Structure 1
Amino acid sequence: MKLTQSAVLAFAASALAAPSSTTQQEPRKVAAACSSAVSLDASTNVFKKYTLHANKFYRDEVTAAVSALSDSSLASAAAAVADVGTFLWIDTIANIAKIEPALADVPCDHILGLVIYDLPGRDCAAKASNGELKVGEISKYKSQYIDPIVKLIKAYPNTAFALVIEPDSLPNLVTNADKDTCKQSASGYRDGVAYALKNLNLPNVVMYIDAGHGGWLGWDANLKPGAQELAKAYTSAGKPKQFRGISTNVAGWNAWDLSPGEFSTASDAKYNKCQNEKIYVTTFGAALKTAGMPNHAIVDTGRNGVTGLRKEWGDWCNVHGAGFGVRPTADTGTELADAFVWIKPGGESDGTSDTSANRYDSFCGKDDAFKPAPEAGTWNQVYFEDLIKNANPSF
């Protein structure tokens, strides 16, 4: 069975498709930030004006990977990946130090993407990407994580930022409310997300809160409670002006507009009409509007170039045979979808396949997961090479 309606309440969150056309990547620009302060209009699609920046940290990882390749054709394709705009994950307090170096080469027409990802008790329904802060350390999250990021962004008013707020967090509270770890994390998640939204509400920022994907909150029974959970965070934050909507398919594998959907023949498919992310963005977007929240979306197409690889919809860890998907573009063909973006840096592992590791999650040992795989966030050279070989469109 492909993730039954009851199973969706228990599957682990991702450790955290594409239309045929894409935009050609422009040559990399090295230029100063804008000469004056940036003011983003979050009531509009800023990705029509700004190009997602190819941050130096992912570029460095890709450059190192290219140097390890002996196949000149593969190396040439791999080198092109370095020019693709990709979000930078600020997943620890220590990694806040990456923000300033990442700002050094952002030209005025680029926007730097950051993933805000360090809630206490992070990823409560999985083990592979558990964070550094323990349940209850919400004061530390605010004062040592969010506040320093706010200070940094304020210090660089001439640069545009796009933020994805806490992947997996609120979706976990909707579908994994029966898990003790999620029960314990719930208050911190809600408080932390609202605090982040309120305090990161800066003129040069546009924010998207994570909404899982169509195989998660897209189930009929999850649409309304999911929308209400996200809308509560938006309202608790004071309905911040720089808030635009949601991110979907983060570190995910769902196709954008595959029809029929990848799991449309499953016996329980009748309970989920969101068989691709395009339907999900539209359907969940309507629920968000009813709940009183801005509902535009950015969709992660970083690794969804190949479909039909997963045995079940909830399989999230290092899916074997995956390929890079459509490069970042604001040409989505759907008004509610602002852009296709690369949020998960392709080549960085979702989680370890080492069964003896403390952070081993059984999803990383499944038949459809690539093995061997290192700890979450660690570079996996062979997997990166496969993403290039299987890329759709190709490099």
Structure 2
Amino acid sequence: MKFSQSTVLAFAATALAAPSATTKEQPRQAAVGCASAVTLDASTNVWKKYTLHANKFYRDEVTAAVSALSDSSLASAAAKLADVGSFLWLDTIENIGKLEPALQDVPCDHILGLVIYDLPGRDCAAKASNGELKVGEISRYKSEYIDKVVSILKDHPKTAFALVIEPDSLPNLVTNSDLQTCKDSAAGYRDGVAYALKQLNLPNVVMYIDAGHGGWLGWDANLKPGAQELAKAYTAAGKPKQVRGIATNVAGWNAWDLSPGEFSKASDAKYNACQNEKTYVTTFGAALKTAGMPNHAIVDTGRNAVTGLRKEWGNWCNVKGAGFGVRPTATTGTELADAFVWVKPGGESDGTSDSSANRFDSFCGKEDAFQPSPEAGQWNQVYFEELIKNAKPAF
């Protein structure tokens, strides 16, 4: 997963999260589901009741990574990652097969996080995470992807689910509308997101539409069109009641409340008042309210513990020196921010640094990008170890 950035506007600053209130890692539990059907009230903050589940697939990756460590102190710290809740990425039709196994150990007080991420022409402004479905294959997206996910969620009414809907998609239509690839993908993005929101509007589900981050839609010129783009999808879906708002900083590096921002001294910083994600959630939230859409947010703090690492605001790929950030918690200090969550599985690559690869993106070859790095989604052991060493708060 990567962040496509505007080819029209320059990027100014945010930065990476300083430690704040966090939830102590909880041991894994074996109990499955609830005694009766779950009903989530999306007009409330469900994270105050539910804990983000530590899904088995990331736990397995962490367990394998720990076994490869010879440093006992580092291994002890790394092992704790297995009990930190994170989202499961359903980024291909095949990976829907992970959903049933992931459901087998979710206790009643946990919520399983899922990333819905397989639009036709996915990631139209970059190459690292191009998807399996071609532009125009919207019928496959609906019938082979969304409908299958919906069927499984309906079969498990006693489990709570939190969904992040299609990272990068709608923000790309705001800032990269000049690219032919994004022009070609636009209709499918809008149709697909609306269809996903409508079909996934189930009682045991709460949904957050991806809204990029403060360095993307937080620019003064992007706030209103960004909010309108998301609100149009919400309206086209029939204003589903299980939509709570937005997800920000997914797989990103921006600080929650660092002030001044990481790039606040840049010459164009005056054009972006959203110098951290806290300001972005509040500012974009107001624009969403005006546009007629729910505006609460979850914020990815999975890798944003260290500031001052990027050479430019828009650099998104495997940033060197990054560290695991604040653990998932509903204690954010801001009413519009429901929770800090870990959406991106730390240790999985954002994209390959091999310039000869078909999916090589130049952002993954930049000076501030960790190298060597494998293809997007593949495990990078050395980078994982750096994330642990640089974690704030420390493990």
TM-score range, shorter chain: over 0.9
Whether the 8 Å CA contact 1:19–1:257 is kept in 2: the answer is: no
Aligned to 2:64: 64
The amino acid that maps onto 1:199 is Q
* Pair 1:244-2:239 in alignment: no
Give the 3 Å change call, closer, same or farther, for CA 6–168 of structure 1 in structure 2: closer
Report the Cα offset of residue 20 of structure 1: 2.6
- 3-state DSSP class of the match of 1:162? strand
The amino acid that maps onto 1:164 is V
- 3-state DSSP class of the match of 1:340? strand
Aligned to 2:76: 76
The amino acid that maps onto 2:350 is D
Aligned to 1:288: 288
Report the Cα offset of residue 19 of structure 1: 4.1
Report the Cα offset of residue 10 of structure 1: 7.9
Aligned to 2:187: 187
Aligned to 2:14: none
Rounded to whole Å, the distance in 1 between the matches of 2:6 and 2:366 is 20
Rounded to whole Å, the distance in 1 between the matches of 2:245 and 2:119 is 20
Give the 3 Å change call, closer, same or farther, for CA 32–187 of structure 1 in structure 2: same
Report the Cα offset of residue 32 of structure 1: 1.8
Higher RCO (CA 8 Å, separation ≥ 6 residues) = 2
Aligned to 1:267: 267
* Pair 1:118-2:118 in alignment: yes
Aligned to 1:360: 360
Rounded to whole Å, the distance in 1 between the matches of 2:20 and 2:232 is 37
The amino acid that maps onto 1:77 is A
- 3-state DSSP class of the match of 2:89? strand
- 3-state DSSP class of the match of 2:105? coil
Give the 3 Å change call, closer, same or farther, for CA 300–59 of structure 1 in structure 2: same
Give the 3 Å change call, closer, same or farther, for CA 330–180 of structure 1 in structure 2: same
Whether the 8 Å CA contact 2:19–2:392 is kept in 1: the answer is: no
Give the 3 Å change call, closer, same or farther, for CA 8–45 of structure 1 in structure 2: farther
CA distances 1:25-48 after superposition (whole Å, capped 9, x unpaired): 222221121010000000000000
CA distances 1:2-37 after superposition (whole Å, capped 9, x unpaired): xxx9855488xxxxx144321212222211210100
Rounded to whole Å, the distance in 1 between the matches of 2:26 and 2:112 is 16
Superposed counterparts of 1:288-327, under 5 Å:
288-327=288-327
* Pair 1:50-2:53 in alignment: no
CA distances 1:320-367 after superposition (whole Å, capped 9, x unpaired): 000000000000000000000000000000000000000000000000
Rounded to whole Å, the distance in 2 between the matches of 1:129 and 1:102 is 23
Whether the 8 Å CA contact 1:8–1:216 is kept in 2: the answer is: no
* Pair 1:349-2:316 in alignment: no
* Pair 1:140-2:137 in alignment: no
Rounded to whole Å, the distance in 1 between the matches of 2:204 and 2:56 is 20
Whether the 8 Å CA contact 1:323–1:388 is kept in 2: the answer is: yes
Report the Cα offset of residue 393 of structure 1: 0.5
Rounded to whole Å, the distance in 1 between the matches of 2:23 and 2:37 is 28
Rounded to whole Å, the distance in 2 between the matches of 1:24 and 1:37 is 28
Report the Cα offset of residue 139 of structure 1: 0.2
- 3-state DSSP class of the match of 1:77? helix
The amino acid that maps onto 1:139 is S
- 3-state DSSP class of the match of 1:104? helix
CA distances 1:255-289 after superposition (whole Å, capped 9, x unpaired): 00001111111110000000000000000000000
Whether the 8 Å CA contact 2:21–2:329 is kept in 1: the answer is: no
- 3-state DSSP class of the match of 1:89? strand
> Percent same amino acid among aligned pairs?
85
Give the 3 Å change call, closer, same or farther, for CA 18–159 of structure 1 in structure 2: farther
Whether the 8 Å CA contact 1:10–1:175 is kept in 2: the answer is: no
- 3-state DSSP class of the match of 2:299? strand
Give the 3 Å change call, closer, same or farther, for CA 314–57 of structure 1 in structure 2: same
For structure 1, the 5+ residue unaligned runs are: 12-16
Aligned to 1:220: 220
Whether the 8 Å CA contact 1:114–1:162 is kept in 2: the answer is: yes
The amino acid that maps onto 2:146 is I
Rounded to whole Å, the distance in 2 between the matches of 1:307 and 1:356 is 31
CA distances 1:85-141 after superposition (whole Å, capped 9, x unpaired): 000000000000000000000000000000000000000001000000000000000
Whether the 8 Å CA contact 1:19–1:256 is kept in 2: the answer is: no
Number of aligned pairs? 386
Q: Calculate the aligned-residue CA RMSD, in Å.
A: 1.1
CA distances 1:158-196 after superposition (whole Å, capped 9, x unpaired): 000000000000000000000000000000000000000
Superposed counterparts of 1:123-202, under 5 Å:
123-202=123-202
Q: Which runs of 4+ in 1 moved over 3 A?
A: 5-11
For structure 2, the 5+ residue unaligned runs are: 12-16
The amino acid that maps onto 2:78 is A
Rounded to whole Å, the distance in 2 between the matches of 1:83 and 1:76 is 13
Rounded to whole Å, the distance in 2 between the matches of 1:244 and 1:35 is 25
Give the 3 Å change call, closer, same or farther, for CA 181–9 of structure 1 in structure 2: farther
Aligned to 1:14: none
